[in-house]
Amino acid sequence: MLKKMIAAAALCIFVAPSAFAQADIACNQAAMAKLETDVKAITDEMKKDYANKELTMAKEALASNDSDKCKTHMSNAMKGNDPM
């Protein structure tokens, strides 16, 4: 029982930061323009392709006023810029 509780606590430690990070994302034209500039700067073609697809979906969500979906896709596009 104790092992399960420790495992659950450890999982929360890793999941919580990504949830809070998404809350910081602003889904608006200015943020979208900055993200587009960041995506253009990606040198890894696979990451750049992935980020462009996510950026396109974020723009569609912004146009349809779906803020949660927009933030999710913007977050995914930003991950394409993270070194792995």
Express each pLDDT in 19-50 by its tens digit. Answer: 444 557 889 999 999 999 999 999 999 999 99
pLDDT, residue 11, reads 46
Cβ(62)–Cβ(32) under 8 Å?
yes
pLDDT, residue 80, reads 72
Residues 6+ away with beta carbon under 8 Å from 54: 73, 74, 76, 77, 80
The predicted model scores a pTM of 0.67
In a domain, 59, yes or no: yes
In a domain, 72, yes or no: yes
**What are the backbone angles phi and psi of residue 41, rounded to the nearest 5°?**
-85, -10
Amino acid at site 40:
K
66: confidence class by pLDDT, cuts 50, 70, 90: very high
75 or 19, higher pLDDT: 75
Tell which phi-psi region holds residue 65, choosing left (phi > 0), alpha (psi between -120 and 50) or beta. Answer: left
In a domain, 42, yes or no: yes
In a domain, 68, yes or no: yes
In terms of residue numbers, what domain contains 57?
26-79
